[in-house]
Amino acid sequence: MKKIICYSLKCIALLFLAALLIQPDKAAAEEDLFYTYTYDYWGIERESPDAYAMNSVLFGNSYGIGNFNSPEGLFVRDNRVFICDTLNNRIVEFSYNNGKFTLVKVVTEVNNEGKMEPLSKPYDVFITPDNEWYISDYGNQRIVFTDDSQNVLGTIYKPEDEETLSADYQFLPQKLVVDSAKRIFVQAQNINKGFMEFENDGEFVGYIGAADVQFDFIDYFYKLISTQAQRAQMEAFVPTEYNNIALDSEGFIYATLGTFEDSEVNSANPVRKLNAKGTDILIRNGYENPIGDIQWGNGGGYNGTSKFSDVTILENDCYYCLDMTRGRVFGYDFQGNLLYAFGGIGYRQGNFKLPVAIEAIGDSLLILDKELGSVTIMTLTEYGKLINDALNTYKIGEYDISADYWRQVLKLNGNYDLAYIGIGRSLLRQDKFEEAMDYFKLKLDFKNYSKAYKLYRKEKIEDNIGYVFAIFMVLLVIIFVRNTVKKIRREVSEG
């Protein structure tokens, strides 16, 4: 009996030990949370190879300047990187070469005609190609622009506009861009009429790109039947505020919205491309609109839809949206197709706690984390580079080379729908309509299939129009001869 009991205890101990070995630890569980994926035609999440990999993380204290404190702004011009260290009241400039950062300078004040004026909570900065600095000096309620040595060239304070701004309105500029004509577009706090536009001399022009009004139909109906007193207590229907702005190489404005109801995510169009009139011209030809995750739950304590905090645009018109809900990056091509999504919330390298800004530098991405006070550098993998090469060569008209790149992508990920569609688009551009139809049909791309089919049908008609015309003429001759013979026979018989 004693031997049986001892044997049983040993078995239980071994089972317990095995359970400990099999059970993943917390670090391993966190590791599983970081992965790359996309969505197929049916909206099913498909894991894919990593398009980007974490290279390094930049902290201020590594350069002897102390930790960044709630940084809000990030900007890149060539190999220069600028970080708005907001609560430290400074802007820090680095140079980035061969994957390494070098501290250039720390800007805490500007020289206004000999008077040194300290910055206060700088929220954003934009550097023009001729090295003029445009600083969103949030705490001082102004926009100040300087030369590269921080000598003040101009200042913009609260615009005088009685029609749209109340007397007690505080001008709190947050994000800004400057176009090639030196017009300044500003996303300001508590402004829901779009972006504020200023001339370079500080003159207020007006607003551009007012966001659509979002409202609930039930609330609207209730307002119709409510008394005046009840309506006065209800919240007014107001347009949604933008939360960030970016500029592409052609001068188009990209904008993100982060405040909307989950049920309005598709109609809200959380990322937009605005033309000079402020009209949204972003192409949305993907399986789903560019909204981030198309499926979401409440897992891990993170609720609701993706909420974009920033967007950056590449030279090939692809753009990357930064999601502050789950710490993810969503890459889209110029047609609005989701290329890949990656990232996550966490403390491990490659994850984020509160990502607020994203910029591209060469083939890498820089992501600013407000809560961690860090900049994460993500570099392209072989898989990601093949996708980018396929898109780049397509844009410059090398369609056969683009198709070859897509075929290499398929060797690494045979479930990647966009590779099949990309090959189809390349074949379409090479006038290989029938082959293109096969690829579009395979991935249920009905829009491109329809386009290819119309061109294929037109091609066949044009190729055979000569035969059709010849047959038509032969038929006409046969009919003419037949009628002529009949006429002659009738005349002969009557004669």
Per-residue model confidence as pLDDT tens for the chain (495 residues): 444 444 454 444 444 434 433 333 333 334 444 689 999 999 999 999 999 999 999 999 999 999 999 999 999 999 999 999 999 999 999 999 999 999 999 999 999 999 999 999 999 999 999 999 999 999 999 999 999 999 999 999 999 888 889 989 999 999 999 999 999 999 999 999 999 999 999 999 999 998 665 555 555 565 566 666 555 544 444 566 899 999 999 999 999 998 788 888 878 899 999 999 999 999 999 999 999 999 887 766 678 899 999 999 999 999 999 999 999 999 999 999 999 999 999 988 789 999 999 999 999 999 999 999 999 999 999 999 999 999 999 999 999 999 999 999 999 999 999 999 999 999 999 999 999 999 989 988 888 889 988 987 887 787 777 777 778 888 888 888 888 887 787 777 776
Per-residue confidence (pLDDT) for residue 350, from 0 to 100: 83
Per-residue confidence (pLDDT) for residue 29, from 0 to 100: 38
User: What domains lie within the chain, and their CATH numbers?
Assistant: 33-380 (2.120.10.30), 381-464 (1.25.40.10)
pTM: 0.84
Per-residue confidence (pLDDT) for residue 4, from 0 to 100: 47
Per-residue confidence (pLDDT) for residue 2, from 0 to 100: 45
53: three-class secondary structure by DSSP: strand
Closest CA to 257 of 280, 287, 283, 285: 280
- CA–CA distances in Å: residue 404 to residues 169, 408, 421: 57, 6, 13
Per-residue confidence (pLDDT) for residue 215, from 0 to 100: 52
Residues 6+ away with beta carbon under 8 Å from 98: none
If one counts every other C-beta atom within 10 angstroms of the C-beta of residue 328, the result is 23
**Residue 391 host element (H or E):** helix 382-395
Residue pair 183/199 in contact (Cβ under 8 Å)? The answer is: yes
Q: What is the pLDDT of residues 44-69, one digit of tens each?
A: 999 999 999 999 999 999 999 999 99
Hey, what amino acid is at 126? F
Q: What is the pLDDT of residues 336-349, one digit of tens each?
A: 999 999 999 998 87
**For the stretch 220-254, what's the b/e string if a residue is b when 16 or more beta carbons lie within 10 angstroms of its beta carbon?**
eeeeeeeeeeeeeeeeeeeebbbbbbbbbeeebbb
